[in-house]
Structure formats: C-alpha cells, structure tokens
C-alpha cells in the first residue's frame, strides 16, 4: 500500500456568525431618569423614576370564547445603567439580549478586525 502525501492547510480564515443589525429604540436608566409613557393603544402605562420602573397593564380580550381581563402592576428596581428596549404594544421591556449602541458595536468590531 502506497503512503499518501498529506497537504497541510496553508491559511486559516476567521469566520463570525452574521450579527443582527436591526435597530431598537430604548433608554439607559440613570438615577435622574424621569419618564412617563404608554403604548399607542393605551393598554400599557409606564413610568421610570430614577431606577424604579413601573408598568401598569389594563387589557380586556376574548380568546376561544373566554373573556380575559388583565389588571396588573409590576414594579422593578433596576440597576443604574440598565438598558430597556421599546416594543410596540408592550412598552419598555427588559430584553433577553444585551443591547449595544452603534458606537459600542463599531468599537467591538474594531477590536476583532483582522490585520
């Protein structure tokens, strides 16, 4: 049996998972934050006073013949620097991803730029 000659890889490329470039509206909470807002349909009313984030939701809807009425109040003490993202119909939310400013994204990309 003849021994095969191996051809080693000459260059290795770096690849990344394509990032999501969608822009979101939102705010960064500071100790002097003072916001009062509500969704367009008026079902969600929110205030942010300093680091206290309050959401009041009043909604009535029907689902599979059942009438559903929701009256809720949620108060969250968020740390200063927390970023909240605005979602239409829901108001400000605590996202399950790390929102970054465009400036931060550009800085991150500069750090990993190939030479």
pLDDT in tens, 71-110: 999 999 999 999 999 999 999 999 998 898 888 888 888 8
Residue 9 lies in a domain: no
Q: 72 near 57, Cβ under 8 Å?
A: yes
Q: Give pLDDT, residue 114.
A: 64
Taking residues 28-38, report their average pLDDT. 96
Residue 1 lies in a domain: no
Residue 65 lies in a domain: yes
Residue 12 lies in a domain: no
Residue 10 lies in a domain: no
Residues of the domain holding 102:
26-112
Residue 15 lies in a domain: no
Residue 85 lies in a domain: yes
Number of domains composing the chain: 1
Q: Give pLDDT, residue 91.
A: 96
- With a CB cutoff of 8 Å and minimum separation 6, the contacts of 30 are 80, 81
């Amino acid at each position: 049996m003849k021994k095969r000659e191996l051809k080693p890889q000459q260059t290795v490329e770096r690849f990344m998972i394509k990032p999501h470039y969608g822009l979101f509206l939102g705010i960064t909470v500071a100790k002097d934050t003072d916001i009062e807002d509500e969704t367009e349909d008026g079902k969600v009313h929110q205030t942010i006073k300093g680091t206290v984030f309050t959401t009041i939701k009043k909604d009535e809807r029907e689902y599979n013949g059942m009438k559903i009425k929701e009256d809720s109040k949620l108060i969250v003490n968020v740390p200063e620097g927390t970023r909240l993202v605005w979602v239409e119909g829901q108001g400000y939310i605590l996202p399950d991803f790390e929102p970054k400013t465009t400036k931060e994204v550009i800085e991150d990309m500069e750090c990993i730029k190939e030479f």
